[in-house]
């Protein structure tokens, strides 16, 4: 059974209705992933992908085949992303590699850039910032080929995060500037569905993330600008972006902790845990670890100690 509750019919010749069906299913799973986490919908998305790949064997026009490859590239990328969020990085990389092939077969450089961004994010999450930078740089070239300033902004922002993880403050700040400039130049650029999550608020979230990373590894003074960016971000995210909001609440709590504002750190940390209730995301549990470590380090303060205990209980 598909996400829309319809049984896939046998395929003879493929036309635009089948392509649109793949796109519709992908939109459904993407919305579920944003709100409830990849662990909640990964298996169902994977089953739909198996049906989608059968379409590649059917007869079609060249135009339909290109559209189908791009649509399946997006669905394959989404399955890779849900695998990543569910805690399966090797499976995620395998899906992303296949998705890039499909995007190129479909002649969609913008989609290829988006997939390379996602591949880089897996590396970044598992503390491999140099490998992440390689993927982001490849994605930047694909974004340039597509003429997409939005994708360029997204890739520069993520390069900034990787540079911050490497402790390269000046390069991270420079790339934040490039990301901001590219987003401004994008103007009313038409944004494909797979990149629409990256709006002005998400760019601010990335800037706050970079500052938080610099506060953690370079200079605690960056916690203040991180806090300033993220405070507005968490209020602007809606329930359709529950996971992103939860991640930002974790980083905001971390910034407050680094600034010695223990009461606020505990309150924001509690909001993060509450927001994640019912969400199935291994990444969220991973994102809690630096916050827990910093809270434990300040366990002489009752609020920090209480936060560490709440995180441990949540993780268990």
Tell me how many domains the chain contains.
1
**Domain presence at residue 44:** yes
Provide the domain limits for residue 19: 8-107
**Domain presence at residue 82:** yes
Q: For position 1, what pLDDT does the model report?
A: 43
Q: For position 13, what pLDDT does the model report?
A: 84
Q: What is the DSSP letter of 166?
A: T
**3-state class of 13 per DSSP?**
strand
Q: Render pLDDT for 51-109 as a digit per residue (tens, 0 to 9).
A: 999 999 999 999 999 999 999 999 999 999 999 999 999 999 999 999 999 999 999 99
Q: For position 270, what pLDDT does the model report?
A: 96
CA 191 to the chain's CA centroid:
16
Q: Render pLDDT for 28-48 as a digit per residue (tens, 0 to 9).
A: 999 999 999 999 999 999 999
Q: How far apart are CA 73 and CA 112, in angstroms?
A: 9
- Of 63, 71, 62, nearest to 18 by C-alpha is 71
**What are residue 59's DSSP bridge partners?**
13
Q: How far apart are CA 204 and CA 176, in angstroms?
A: 10
- Of 13, 84, 74, 86, nearest to 49 by C-alpha is 74
Residue 8 has pLDDT above 90, yes or no: no
Tokens at 174, concatenated: 């420079």
Question: Are 28 and 4 in contact, with CB atoms under 8 Å apart?
Answer: yes
Question: Are 290 and 127 in contact, with CB atoms under 8 Å apart?
Answer: no
**Domain presence at residue 263:** no
**Domain presence at residue 247:** no
**Domain presence at residue 49:** yes
**Domain presence at residue 74:** yes
Tell me how crowded residue 36 is: count the other CB atoms within 10 A of its CB: 16
**Which pLDDT band holds residue 6 (cuts at 50, 70, 90)?**
very low
Among left, alpha and beta (phi > 0; psi -120 to 50; other), residue 206 is alpha
Q: For position 183, what pLDDT does the model report?
A: 97
Residue 280 has pLDDT above 50, yes or no: yes
Q: How many CA atoms lie within 13 A of 266 on its CB side?
A: 17
Q: Render pLDDT for 169-189 as a digit per residue (tens, 0 to 9).
A: 999 999 999 999 999 999 999
Q: For position 315, what pLDDT does the model report?
A: 85
Question: Are 68 and 188 in contact, with CB atoms under 8 Å apart?
Answer: no
**Domain presence at residue 145:** no
**Domain presence at residue 256:** no
Q: Provide φ and ψ at 290, rounded to 5°.
A: -60, -40
Q: Render pLDDT for 119-169 as a digit per residue (tens, 0 to 9).
A: 999 999 999 999 999 999 999 999 999 999 999 999 999 999 999 999 999
Residue 264 has pLDDT above 80, yes or no: yes
The per-residue pLDDT of the chain, averaged, comes to 94
**What are residue 13's DSSP bridge partners?**
59
């Amino acid at each position: 059974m598909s996400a829309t509750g319809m049984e896939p019919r046998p395929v003879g010749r493929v036309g635009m209705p089948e392509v649109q069906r793949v796109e519709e299913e992908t939109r459904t799973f993407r919305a579920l992933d944003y709100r409830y986490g990849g662990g909640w919908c990964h298996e169902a998305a994977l089953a739909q992908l198996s049906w989608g790949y059968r379409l590649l064997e059917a007869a079609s026009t060249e135009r339909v085949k290109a559209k189908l490859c791009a649509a399946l590239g997006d669905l394959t990328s989404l399955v890779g992303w849900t695998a990543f969020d569910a805690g399966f990085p090797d499976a995620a990389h395998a899906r992303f590699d296949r998705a890039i092939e499909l995007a190129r077969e479909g002649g969609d450089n913008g989609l290829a850039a988006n997939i390379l961004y996602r591949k880089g994010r897996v590396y970044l999450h598992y503390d491999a910032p140099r490998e992440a930078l390689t993927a982001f740089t490849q994605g930047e070239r694909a974004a340039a080929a597509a003429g997409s300033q939005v994708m360029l902004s997204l890739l520069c922002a993520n390069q900034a995060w990787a540079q911050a993880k490497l402790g390269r403050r000046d390069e991270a700040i420079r790339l934040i500037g490039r990301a901001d400039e590219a987003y401004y130049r994008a103007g009313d650029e038409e944004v494909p569905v797979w990149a629409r999550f990256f709006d002005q608020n998400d760019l601010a979230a990335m800037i706050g993330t970079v500052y938080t990373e610099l506060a953690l590894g370079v200079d605690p003074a960056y916690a203040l600008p991180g806090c300033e960016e993220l405070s507005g971000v968490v209020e602007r995210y809606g329930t359709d972006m529950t996971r992103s909001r939860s991640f930002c609440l974790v980083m905001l709590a971390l910034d407050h902790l680094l600034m010695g504002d223990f009461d606020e750190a505990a309150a924001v940390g509690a909001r993060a845990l509450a927001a994640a209730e019912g969400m199935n995301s291994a990444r969220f549990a991973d994102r809690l670890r630096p916050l827990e470590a910093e809270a434990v380090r300040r366990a002489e303060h009752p609020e920090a100690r209480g936060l560490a205990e709440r995180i441990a209980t949540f993780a268990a």
